[in-house]
């Protein structure tokens, strides 16, 4: 009884709980700033991100160009902000895709005993591959494009969601109210959606924040390796890839998108850690 009511209270007080943890506050602030910059990119960018200016190419950071300019004289600050839009969008959709696949797999594996062995082996097999390698293979098979990168990363991260969903479903399936629902004739699909799925929200949310962070990193990695989104779409990854050639003369071209990646990934990780502590009933405290 205590467990159910504390988890209810925890859900209600997520924000309050986060605000009581300094690392989470730091993560939240940085993330809000990054997301706000991405949303209001067109208002805050000092220059159009694609505006060429051969005369002012490869200039270091100055008051005119806070983050300097790249080899075509484009403003690195504007491009970093603009690239954030795409990087975040890719990360966000990867979370959605992996959650859709992972929740479905995990739910079926956890609820239906017969499906568990084959689905669990599939999940284990996928998790045995190094993330980036599997992603490269998938992109290679699907063909490089932004949509396929999202799809590939979604597939790569789906097993992580599937695992926690399966574990939680195994527990929920045996709860008295699920058995009570069965005894009152509630059909299985309704039980799955209304009684099991609802209770999976917290573990999926926690995994989602980590996957978001990993996806941003992985997208940058794929783009850097040249198997990600097309190089003329600015993402933090493609910016670093392009800037690499000028590393020793104009390092700022890759520093700033690099810093953006570090900040966003770190803030998401901090937030995810805090969320996990808050939502895990075993760790929940009566604060």
Partner 1 sequence: MTPAAAPSASSQPDVLPEGILLRVDGLKTHFGTGNRTAKAVDGVTFSLPRGRTVAVVGESGSGKSVTSLSIMGLIAPPGRIAGGRILHRDREGRVRDLARLTNADFRHIRGPEIAMIFQEPMTSLNPLMTVGEQIGEMIALHERISRGDLRRRVVELLKKVEIPAAESRADDYPHQMSGGMRQRAMIAMALACTPQLLIADEPTTALDVTIQAQILELMRRLQADMGMSMLFITHNLGVVAEIAHEVVVMYAGRVVEQAPAETLFGRPSHPYTRALLASTPDPDRDIAADGSRRPLAAIPGFVPSITNLPPGCAFAPRCPLAAQACRESPPELTTVAPGHVARCIRMEAA
Q: Which residues bind partner 1 (CB under 8 A)?
A: 1, 4-5, 7-8, 113, 175-177, 179-187, 190, 194-195, 198-199
- Which is nearer to partner 1, 4 or 230 (by Cβ)? 4
- Cβ at position 189, least distance to partner 1 in Å: 11
Rounded distance between C-alpha atoms, residue 118 and residue 137, angstroms: 23
Are 219 and 257 in contact by the 8 Å Cβ rule? The answer is no
- Cβ at position 126, least distance to partner 1 in Å: 28
Six-digit token string for 186 = 């509630």
- Cβ at position 185, least distance to partner 1 in Å: 3
Rounded distance between C-alpha atoms, residue 225 and residue 265, angstroms: 19
Please tell me the total number of residues recorded for the chain in this structure.
287
- Which is nearer to partner 1, 63 or 176 (by Cβ)? 176
- Which is nearer to partner 1, 20 or 194 (by Cβ)? 194
Across the strands, what pairs with 75? 69
Are 190 and 252 in contact by the 8 Å Cβ rule? The answer is no
- Cβ at position 7, least distance to partner 1 in Å: 7
Are 228 and 149 in contact by the 8 Å Cβ rule? The answer is yes
- Which is nearer to partner 1, 4 or 51 (by Cβ)? 4
- Which is nearer to partner 1, 5 or 43 (by Cβ)? 5
In the block, residue with structure tokens 């009933």: 281
- Cβ at position 182, least distance to partner 1 in Å: 6
């Amino acid at each position: 009884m205590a467990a159910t009511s504390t988890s209810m209270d925890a859900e209600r007080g997520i924000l309050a709980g986060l605000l009581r943890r300094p690392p989470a506050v730091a993560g939240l602030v940085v993330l809000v700033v990054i997301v706000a910059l991405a949303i209001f990119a067109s208002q805050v960018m000092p220059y159009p991100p694609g505006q060429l200016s051969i005369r002012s190419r490869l200039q270091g950071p100055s008051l005119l160009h806070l983050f300097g300019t790249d080899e075509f004289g484009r403003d690195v600050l504007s491009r970093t902000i603009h690239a954030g839009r795409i990087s975040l969008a890719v990360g966000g959709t990867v979370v959605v895709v992996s959650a859709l696949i992972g929740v479905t797999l995990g739910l079926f594996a956890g609820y239906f005993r017969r499906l568990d062995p084959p689905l669990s082996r599939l999940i284990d097999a996928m998790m045995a591959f190094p993330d980036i390698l599997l992603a490269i293979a998938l992109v290679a098979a699907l063909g490089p494009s932004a949509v396929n990168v999202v799809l590939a990363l979604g597939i790569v991260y789906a097993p992580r969601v599937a695992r926690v969903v399966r574990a939680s479903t195994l527990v929920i399936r045996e709860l008295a109210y699920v058995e009570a629902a069965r005894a009152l004739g509630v059909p299985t699909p309704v039980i799955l959606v209304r009684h099991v799925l609802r209770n999976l929200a917290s573990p999926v949310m926690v995994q989602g924040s980590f996957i978001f962070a990993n996806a941003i990193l992985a997208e940058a990695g794929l783009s850097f390796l040249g198997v990600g989104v097309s190089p003329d779409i600015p993402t933090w990854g493609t910016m670093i890839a392009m800037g690499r050639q000028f590393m020793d003369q104009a390092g700022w071209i890759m520093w700033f998108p690099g810093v953006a990646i570090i900040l966003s990934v770190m803030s998401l990780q901090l937030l995810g850690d805090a969320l996990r502590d808050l939502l895990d009933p075993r760790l929940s405290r009566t604060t």
